[in-house]
């Protein structure tokens, strides 16, 4: 469903007002949603949909998912943390996961940014090049 211009503007305004000290405030988000549902202004479903999308994207860009083929030791894990904090800020929630299918290397996802330097990805790329050659 295409959002109306007014609904998009309203959702954006509500989203920008949901921050405290540069961070999305959970309590403000709950208040906005509760009040929208209670008041039911015109196009409130569209507004809620756009608002939810903005909140979800903001939450996702503050979470990092790091996949490795084997468990990272302390210094290597600290190095990944420092590198990601330097690029995305200290408030990044970093989660590590072991995925043996990667065979080696790392796959990192922060919001919509993805870095895949795994052996699995390299093999897939090589396979596609051989098939299309």
Strands (E) in the chain, as ranges, are: 19-20, 23-24, 63-68, 93-98, 106-110, 113-116
CA dihedral 73, 75, 78, 79 (to 10 degrees): -110
Q: Please say whether the beta carbons of 77 and 112 come within 8 A.
A: no
User: Is the overall model pTM greater than 0.75, yes or no?
Assistant: no
What is the per-residue pLDDT across 90-124, written as a single tens digit (0 to 9) for each? 889 999 999 999 999 999 999 889 999 999 999 89
In angstroms, the Cα distances linking 3 to 13, 49, 51, 54, 56 are 15, 9, 11, 13, 17
């Amino acid at each position: 469903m295409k959002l109306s211009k007014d609904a998009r503007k309203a959702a954006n305004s509500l989203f920008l007002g949901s921050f405290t000290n540069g961070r999305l405030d959970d309590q403000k988000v709950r208040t906005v949603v509760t009040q929208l549902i209670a008041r039911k202004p015109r196009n409130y479903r569209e507004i809620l949909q756009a608002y939810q999308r903005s909140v979800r994207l903001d939450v996702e860009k503050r979470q990092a998912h790091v996949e490795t083929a084997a468990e990272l030791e302390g210094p290597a894990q600290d190095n990944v943390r420092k590198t990601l904090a330097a690029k995305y800020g200290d408030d990044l929630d970093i989660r590590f996961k072991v995925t043996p299918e990667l065979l080696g290397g790392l796959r990192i996802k922060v919001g919509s940014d993805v870095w895949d330097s795994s052996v699995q990805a390299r093999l897939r790329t090589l396979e596609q090049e051989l098939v299309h050659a």
